[in-house]
Structure 1
Amino acid sequence: MLTVSQLFIYPIKSLGGLALDTAEVTDRGLKYDRRWMLIDDNNRFLSQREFAQMALLSVSIEAAGLRVTYLKDGSSIGIPFIPQTNTDIPVTVWDDTCTGTLVCPDIDKWFTNVLGMNARLVYMADVSRREVDPRYAHEQQITSFADAYPFLLIGQASLDELNTRLQSPIRMDRFRPNIVFSGGEPFEEDVMPHIRIGDIDFYGVKRCARCVMITIDQQSAAKHPEPLKVLAKYRAQNNKIYFGQNLLHKGTGNISVGDVLEVVAKPAAIL
């Protein structure tokens, strides 16, 4: 039997993740997941890919909003759920442009000081709609400031198998999934075009191509060659390295750790 073993959200894109026991599935992913994002002077998203120190900013949820803590010195700042400005601007995530609302100039100053570079925080309001690539989404599904899809699914068995090939085992947080499941075979998520958790249907639409971000230790921000070197030996196809499955979904509600993950359909070969 396959069961949900971990749930994660990343409220501010490319900052630390947050483990949950129960998560609410919304129209564009898990509630709060990547609804905030740091941008540069060109309104383009900031990422650990270029700025590994972003891993040292941990995020928690409080009654009035988020709290971001800089792990190096323990300083922190509160971020209200409702932006303190009404200023909407076009922001860029890879090849997509959508609308973000500037949150607060004082919060921008804090991030700029901590990161040592100009940074502004934006929020994706409900009226801002960013559609998933129509080559994979056939019902005009939307997503947040995530790279491309509302959910990322990884099987614990896949990480366990990878760790048998590494000199030093790594944690699941390197891969920044939303849903982790236990049971089954390594990389079984590759061949899950339709799964169900509770009353919500999820559809595996594209295996996740990985980049240098998985080489960043999420506790120290240190960079390592692995696991990309090892993964390249057996998880590469068409010059890309795959680990995890991107999901779209139909339905809203809650999912929890311990829920059964039902495989509704399974193809004969890897997508």
Structure 2
Amino acid sequence: MFLSELYRYPVKSGQAQCLQGSPVGLLGLQGDRRWMVVEQENGRFLTQRAWPQLGHLKACESDSGELLLELPGQGSIRVAVPDADEALRGVTVWRDTLRVPDAGDEVAGWLSQWLGKAVRLVHCPEQRARYLPSGYGLNSDRAAFPDGFPLLLIGQSSLDELNHRIGRPMEMLRFRPNLVVKGAQPFAEDGWKRIRIGTLVFRVLKPSVRCIFTTLDPATGERSLDREPLTTLKTFRERDGDILFGQNLAADGAGWLEVGMQVEVLE
């Protein structure tokens, strides 16, 4: 088995970046979901579930460490990383509330004009990251702005099996993984507890619960009229009312991941 694909999402619900290699630390892949768009009024997070146009937001880090945002028809803007202890704004991600630095009025105006809604852009420095959901991981584990966990892994064979059952291909990016593994049996990841990739060890914490987000085409933002892949997943991947696909992970320590690295199941 080997690591076949590596993705990060600099802005929550924004476009994916396909990587060849990346540092990994407490919050997962370096730069993954460290930024988030929130409602100006109440700090509640925005995602493609209700705002599918966020899928057109392209983000990357510049050589100087700034965030470069691009939108079709609206050009680009550079955003400096705000000071970790200044311009703090209360935000909400599902049931979690935290205070994180606001990225300023210029980018807020730029995004608000595009969305037609008053929004702010916020950043999550490591020292302000969230604890994981109760009952999962270690007390030292943290996450920035993913839905709950620092890393998501999917086996390529699991997607292949799903596509076979649907009868047409579904893109891997519908499921927004960080790590894709080739060479395992379909859904083998369901039985893993600890794995090693390169020199890094990862703990498998819980299955990923899937939602309407997966019915959005990652290239166009259009929703599947037949509600695929959820319709088919529901027929064989539903457990206690939840539809499961992929596994959430946390890393033990820090290191480096690169496409092509061998994957070893330790437990």
Q: Which runs of 5+ in 2 are unaligned?
A: none
Q: Which runs of 5+ in 1 are unaligned?
A: 266-271
What residue in structure 1 maps to residue 265 of structure 2? 263
What residue in structure 2 maps to residue 106 of structure 1? 106
Q: Is the 8 A contact 1:134 1:140 kept in 2?
A: no
1:86, distance to aligned residue in structure 2 (A): 2.3
Identity %: 36
Q: Output the amino acid matched with 1:70.
A: L
Whether 1:209 aligns to 2:209 is yes
What residue in structure 2 maps to residue 229 of structure 1? 231
1:138, distance to aligned residue in structure 2 (A): 2.8
What residue in structure 1 maps to residue 169 of structure 2? 169
Q: How does 1:35-184 map to 2 (within 5 A)?
A: 35-40=34-39, 41-64=41-64, 65-71=66-72, 73=73, 75-82=75-82, 86-184=86-184
Structure 2 Cα separation of the partners of residues 82 and 69 of structure 1:
19
Structure 2 Cα separation of the partners of residues 111 and 54 of structure 1:
10
Secondary structure (helix, strand or coil) at the match of 2:33 reads coil
Q: Output the amino acid matched with 1:251.
A: G
Q: Output the amino acid matched with 2:257.
A: I
Secondary structure (helix, strand or coil) at the match of 1:148 reads coil
Q: How does 1:16-27 map to 2 (within 5 A)?
A: 16-27=15-26
Structure 1 Cα separation of the partners of residues 265 and 115 of structure 2:
43
What residue in structure 1 maps to residue 9 of structure 2? 10
Q: Is the 8 A contact 1:83 1:104 kept in 2?
A: no
1:91, distance to aligned residue in structure 2 (A): 1.1
Whether 1:196 aligns to 2:161 is no
Q: Give deviations 1:205-259, integer Å, cap 9, x for gaps.
A: 1000000000011111101111110111111111110000001121101110000
Secondary structure (helix, strand or coil) at the match of 1:207 reads strand
| Structure 1 range deviating more: 82-91 or 200-209 | 82-91
Shift in CA distance, 90/139, structure 1 to aligned 2, threshold 3 Å: same
Q: Output the amino acid matched with 1:32.
A: G
What CA RMSD, in Å, does the superposition of the two structures yield over aligned residues? 1.5
1:135, distance to aligned residue in structure 2 (A): 0.2
1:127, distance to aligned residue in structure 2 (A): 2.1
Structure 2 Cα separation of the partners of residues 155 and 221 of structure 1:
24
Q: Output the amino acid matched with 1:248.
A: A
| Structure 1 range deviating more: 78-87 or 206-215 | 78-87
1:97, distance to aligned residue in structure 2 (A): 1.1
Q: Output the amino acid matched with 1:20.
A: L
1:82, distance to aligned residue in structure 2 (A): 4.0
Secondary structure (helix, strand or coil) at the match of 2:176 reads coil
Q: TM-score, normalised by structure 2?
A: 0.94
Q: TM-score, normalised by structure 1?
A: 0.93
Q: Output the amino acid matched with 2:70.
A: T
1:83, distance to aligned residue in structure 2 (A): 5.4
Q: Is the 8 A contact 2:84 2:125 kept in 1?
A: no
Secondary structure (helix, strand or coil) at the match of 1:127 reads helix
Q: Give deviations 1:36-87, integer Å, cap 9, x for gaps.
A: 111002111111111111111122332132222223x262222223459920
Q: Is the 8 A contact 2:154 2:246 kept in 1?
A: yes
Q: Is the 8 A contact 2:152 2:249 kept in 1?
A: yes
Q: Is the 8 A contact 1:11 1:17 kept in 2?
A: yes
Structure 2 Cα separation of the partners of residues 166 and 78 of structure 1:
41
Structure 2 Cα separation of the partners of residues 203 and 59 of structure 1:
29
Structure 2 Cα separation of the partners of residues 129 and 184 of structure 1:
33
